[in-house]
Amino acid sequence: MEQKQAPIIPEHIHLLAIEVAQQKIDAQAFKKHKEHRLNVGHKVLHNLKDERIKLELVFSFEDANKTQLLFFQIDFHFNVEQLSDFYQLKEENYPVFYAPLIATLLGISLSTARGIIFEKLQNAGLKNVILPVVSPQKMLANSSNK
C-alpha cells in the first residue's frame, strides 16, 4: 500500500540562504545577438538529519551557435520541517523526494532567481531581460525522463 503524502505547509518551509555561486555576464555579446536560447537546469542536494535541502539552479543564455553569453548558478538553502514526511528511502538508503515538495521549492527558487537575474542584468545595462514563467512540474517531468 502506498503511503499517503503529507500536505505541504508553507510556514514549514524556511528559505535560509540564497547564494549566487557563479555568474558570467557578457552584455556586449548578448546585445549583438537578436535571438537567445535559455537553458535552465537544477540539482537537488540534501541533509536528511538537519532537514535541509539545497536547490542549485543554473541559467545559461546562448546564441544560435551555442556560445554562452550569460550564465548564473544560484543556490537556495531550505529547511523543511518534518522533511521525513516528504520522501521514501530506496535502495542503499537513497531518498526519493515527493514531486510536489520539489516542485514547490523549485517554484520558490525560480521566482526568486527571476528577480535576482533581472536586477543583475539591469545593472549591467541589459534592460528588460525577463526570464519566462515556467512550470516546475514540467521541469521535473523533463528531468526525470532523462
Q: Is residue 3 part of a domain?
A: no
Does the structure show a pLDDT above 50 at 66?
A: yes
* 83 within 8 A of 53, measured Cβ to Cβ: yes
Cell of 54: 539545497
Is the pTM for the entire model greater than 0.75? yes
Task: For residue 34, give its domain range.
Answer: 11-144
Q: Is residue 22 part of a domain?
A: yes
Q: What percent of the chain has a predicted confidence (pLDDT) above 70?
A: 95
Residue 3 is predicted with a pLDDT of 57
Q: How confident is the model at residue 109 (pLDDT cuts 50, 70, 90)?
A: very high
Q: Is residue 57 part of a domain?
A: yes
Q: Is residue 129 part of a domain?
A: yes
**Cα separation of 40 and 4, whole Å?**
31
Residue 46 is predicted with a pLDDT of 96
Q: How many CB atoms lie within 10 A of CB 99?
A: 16
Q: Is residue 54 part of a domain?
A: yes
| Burial of residue 136, with CB atoms counted within 10 A of its CB: 0-12 exposed, 13-18 middle, 19 or more buried | buried
Cell of 45: 542536494
